Structure 1
Amino acid sequence: MAGEIVYADLNIRGDSSLTSRPQPPHHLIFQGPCSKAETGALASHLRRRLCDSPQNSSAGPPGCRLCPLNWLLHGDKCYWLSKESKTWNESRKDCSAKSSRMLVIQDQRAMEFIKTITEGKYPVWIGLHLTTSKGNWTWVDGSLLNQTGVSLSAPDTGNSCGVWKENQIRGEICSGTFKWICQREAVLI
C-alpha cells in the first residue's frame, strides 16, 4: 500500500430492517505510505466498525460478513433482487455477470427470507430448471430438487424453469419474463 491512495465506501445501516432507508456511504481517503502497523490498525478499526453493526448480527456462522453495495446479507449469503424483468436464461446470465448465481433454496430459513424480501407480491425467477434429458428438476449448482413437501407442476412444453410465486416454488415457461434473485457467498473479514 506504500504510496497508494485507498478509497473505501462504507454503507453501515443503523438497523437490519429491510424497510429502513440506507444511509449514505461514508467516504474515507487514506493517502501516502502506510506502515504495516498503520495498515493493521486501519483494518482493525474497519472490522470493529463493520462487524459490530446490526447487519452482521443475523443468524449464521460466526464472523463478520460483508456484501456488495445494494445486496442484502442473510446468514452467510448475499442476495440481490432485480428491479426489471427478463427471461430465465437472461436472468441466469445477469447473475453470472455479477459473479453470482441464481437463487438456490437449500433450507426453510432461506425460504422464509425470500418470502420477506418478495413480500409475496410478485413472482421471481430462481435457479431451478427442468432438465429435458432426464426430466429432473435441477438447481443451477447441479443438485436435484428435493420434492418432499414441494408440489411442483410445470407446463407441458418441457421448457420449464423455477419461479418463486405466491410464496411457493412453481414451474413456468422459461421464455416468460419475471424479476430474479441472485446469490453469492458473503465475504468473511
Structure 2
Amino acid sequence: MAGEIVYADLNIRGDSSLTSRPQPPHHLIFQGPCSKAETGTLASHLRRRLCDSPQNSSAGPPGCRLCPLNWLLHGDKCYWLSKESKTWNESREDCSAKSSRMLVIQDQRAMEFIKTITEGKYPVWIGLHLTTSKGNWTWVDGSLLNQTGVSLSAPDTGNSCGVWKENQIRGEICSGTFKWICQREAVLI
C-alpha cells in the first residue's frame, strides 16, 4: 500500500437518545505510518489495516491522518474546493456548516498546494477580509495578514474580501460570486 490513499465507509452509530434519524456512514481518507503495537480497539484495527504505507514527505508530522470523502489531505489539513459559486459570506457559512472554516494561508507550502488544486484557472474565495473599523486585512481565524511580500489591492468600496486569483491574493467586492475553499484539521488516528 506504499503511497496509496485508502477510502473506507464506516458506519459509526451515534447515541440514539440524541437523534431519531439513522446517521449516514462517515467517509474517510487515511494516510501515513502508524504503530502496529496497539490492539483491541477500532482505531488500532484501522491502523493495522489501513495505515501501513510509508509517510508522505509532505504530509506533516507522523501518524495516520484522515479527511472526509471529497476532501483533499495535505499535511495535517483537509481541503474542500466548491464546484459552485457564492458570495464571500455565503461561502463562509457553507464552510461553517461543514465544521470547517474558509482557507487561511499560513505558509508557502500551503500556497503551493492551493496553486496545484486551482491550477490558476479560476478565482476562489479565501478566508480573508478587510475590516472596515481598522482597515486591516484579517483572516477568519482573527489573525492579521502578513503583508510582507504581498501586494494586495482592493476596490475602493471598503467591502473587500480575499480571492486567490491567478496564483496570488487579491481583493474583490464581497458580494461577487466565486468558488471557495474550506479547510479543517485532519483527524489523527
TM class by shorter-chain length? 0.7 to 0.9
1:75-119 deviations in whole A, cap 9, x for unaligned?
000000000000000000000000000000000000000000000
Is 1:3–1:33's contact at 8 Å kept on the other side of the alignment? Answer: no
| 1:89 match: secondary structure | helix
Structure with greater helix percent: 1
Is 2:9–2:27's contact at 8 Å kept on the other side of the alignment? Answer: yes
Whole-angstrom CA distance in 2 between matches of 1:114 and 1:15: 38
Structure 2: unaligned runs, 5 residues or longer: none
Aligned ranges 1:108-123 → 2 under 5 Å? 108-123=108-123
Q: CA deviation at 1:46?
A: 1.3
TM-score, normalised with respect to structure 1: 0.78
TM-score, normalised with respect to structure 2: 0.78
Whole-angstrom CA distance in 2 between matches of 1:122 and 1:19: 40
Q: CA deviation at 1:28?
A: 13
Q: CA deviation at 1:71?
A: 0.4
Is 1:79–1:183's contact at 8 Å kept on the other side of the alignment? Answer: yes
Whole-angstrom CA distance in 2 between matches of 1:3 and 1:149: 35
Return structure 1 stretches of 4+ with deviation > 6 angstroms: 1-7, 10-39
Is 2:6–2:50's contact at 8 Å kept on the other side of the alignment? Answer: no
Report the identity percentage: 99
Q: 1:6 to 1:42 in 2, by over 3 A?
A: farther
Is 2:31–2:65's contact at 8 Å kept on the other side of the alignment? Answer: no
Identify the range of structure 1 (18-27 vs 48-57) with the bigger mean alpha-carbon deviation: 18-27
- Number of residues paired by the alignment? 189
Q: 1:22 to 1:148 in 2, by over 3 A?
A: farther
| 2:55 match: secondary structure | helix
Whole-angstrom CA distance in 2 between matches of 1:14 and 1:116: 37
Structure 1: unaligned runs, 5 residues or longer: none
Q: 1:111 to 1:41 in 2, by over 3 A?
A: same
Q: CA RMSD in A?
A: 11.0
Match of 1:55 in 2: 55
Whole-angstrom CA distance in 2 between matches of 1:96 and 1:13: 23
